[in-house]
Amino acid sequence: MTPVLLQTFGFSIAELLLGVVNYAFYIALGLVITWIIFGWIGFPSSDFMQRVHDVVTSAVNPMIMPIRGRIPPLRLGGLGLDLSPIILIIGLWIISNLLSTIIDLFVRPVTG
């Protein structure tokens, strides 16, 4: 569909793009939080949970491995604190806000 056709039916291109950015951020955030919870509870025992674990791990690993490779775990005595999920969540939030600002400043004035 062309942007003119979408605008004819009352859709705003900028609003649609903002919706996509927001949904992508919340989906990625949910995957990271689910990955963290799977890390806390250990290896899943049922077949369904194993499949969910595999999907979540395969979605989060490409995002988190570059961060993990550069930032070692924080050592607190005998405890190792992995900061990579926190850094990933902050990075996703920054990217989401940056894209929303770009859409508001550059796409909205052009498309209406």
pLDDT for the residue numbered 90: 97
pLDDT for the residue numbered 3: 61
Q: Would you say residue 107 lies in a domain?
A: no
Q: Would you say residue 72 lies in a domain?
A: yes
pLDDT for the residue numbered 24: 97
Q: Would you say residue 16 lies in a domain?
A: yes
Task: Give the SS3 label for residue 42.
Answer: coil
Which pTM value belongs to this model?
Answer: 0.84
Q: Phi and psi at residue 9, in whole multiples of 5°?
A: -90, 10
Enclosing H/E stretch for 82: none
- What is the spatial distance between Cα 28 and Cα 69, in angstroms, rounded to a whole number? 20
Residue of 49, 17, 14 lying closest to 34 (CA atoms): 49
Q: Would you say residue 7 lies in a domain?
A: no
Task: Give the SS3 label for residue 76.
Answer: strand
Note down the domain range covering 51: 12-99
Q: Please tell me the total count of domains within the chain.
A: 1
Q: Would you say residue 3 lies in a domain?
A: no
Q: Would you say residue 104 lies in a domain?
A: no
Q: Would you say residue 67 lies in a domain?
A: yes
Query: 42 — alpha (psi -120 to 50), left (phi > 0) or beta?
Result: left
From first to last of its 112 residues, what are the pLDDT tens digits of the chain? 566 655 666 678 889 999 999 999 999 999 999 999 998 888 778 899 999 999 999 999 999 999 999 998 888 888 888 899 999 999 999 999 999 999 999 998 888 6
Total count of residues recorded for the chain: 112
Q: Would you say residue 57 lies in a domain?
A: yes
